A = this chain, B = another copy of it.
Amino acid sequence: MTRPKRPTVYDVAREAGVAASTVSRAFGNPRRVNAATRTHVLEVAERMGYHPSPLATALQSGRTATVAMLVPDIANPHFFGPIRGAERRAAAAGITFILGFTEESADAERDQIARLSRSVDGFVLASSRLPADAAAELAREHNLVLVNREVEGMPSVVVDNASGSAQIVDHLASLGHRSLVYLSGPHASWLAGERWRALSTGARARGMAASRLGPFAPQVAGGGAAADAALVSGATAVVAHNDLLAIGILRRLAERGVRVPEQVSVVGYDDIFGADLCSPALTTLAGPQEEAGRAAVEILLTAGAQHASGDGPRRLVLPSHLVIRESTGPAPA
């Protein structure tokens, strides 16, 4: 591997018979250069194989043309959508995309932000585990956009959990269920709180009993304990914090000889890859997760304009819809 010496603005300037600053403008400020000059400079640059150094540009201008996305755990297929959407949007804008995993830890999140802050223009925080005050604090010094998390004063894009949870309750009620139990995710999870709130509100409105158990690890492995606890509760419908947990519950139920949906109905959140593979196929709340990642980067890229407009931070709520498969059915008589 040998790195050939690359041409600089000066090389191009000399060759094109202009000043280095003109070359710079030709690339970065097209309108501040005579069109003809610009074309000529670009031709020469092309011929010489010149490409601006992102590093030097960033050092001088302060703009890095890079965004970072921080995700709790890549092993959860749920994050595919947001990651992919964010990467695509960044790539489309010629923006470099940095990905970091935080292992479900708020500290790791903080560390990564600190470490990367000089190298990026902003961060997309997916399902951030940061406490609201810590997030708001960080938002003062960094450009942050939240995905599937909301914090007062910060821009965010979420898939609608309130309406989604209401859809779940409606579905269950229409099947004759009189009680449900929510098997909750981590305490630090904002989503868990949101979901429970909407679920219990909706249940009350329909005269259903609702209880919350947990926290459980939001992974397939967490399903054992969750299923056992759910059975004890006596509820005929269980709503799991996410599909991973729901799949784990399905397994445990099968092991214990409990039939789904005849004896118990099971619902998940996210509609991850695999939700329609398991048996019975999982009823779950789906949403435009890829779009959420895309929109987050979009907001990041237009952050300057937003601030200027004085509208306050943007908050996007994307519509969700319940996908009904085989894991939900009429309440047992």
Q: Point out residues on A near B: beta carbons under 8 Å.
A: 1-4, 6, 51, 53-56, 58-59, 64, 66, 74-75, 77, 80, 83-84, 87-88, 91, 94, 96-101, 114-116, 118-119, 139-144, 247, 273-274, 277-279, 303, 307
Contacts and interface: CB of A to CB of B under 8 A. Distances in A.
10 contacts: A1-B139, A1-B307, A3-B141, A55-B59, A55-B119, A77-B77, A88-B101, A247-B277, A273-B274, A277-B277
A55 B58 CA distance: 7
A118 B6 CA distance: 10
A53 B118 contact: yes
A221 B54 CA distance: 40
B100 A91 contact: yes
A84 B74 contact: yes
A59 B61 CA distance: 13
Contacts of A4: 141
Nearest to A250: B277
Copies in the complex: 2
A143 B2 CA distance: 9
A307 B2 CA distance: 12
A246 to B, nearest CB: 11
B1 A140 contact: yes
A80 B75 contact: yes
A141 B96 contact: no
Given A1-B141, A96-B115, 16 more contacts: A1-B140, A2-B140, A3-B141, A6-B118, A54-B119, A55-B55, A55-B58, A66-B119, A77-B77, A77-B80, A77-B273, A84-B101, A91-B100, A91-B101, A96-B98, A97-B100
B74 A87 contact: yes
Q: Which of A1, A83, A84, A140 has the most CB of B within 10 A?
A: A1
Closest 10 CB pairs of A and B: A274-B274, A99-B99, A279-B279, A277-B278, A55-B59, A277-B277, A74-B84, A274-B277, A54-B119, A55-B58
Contacts of A143: 1
Contacts of A96: 98, 115-116, 119
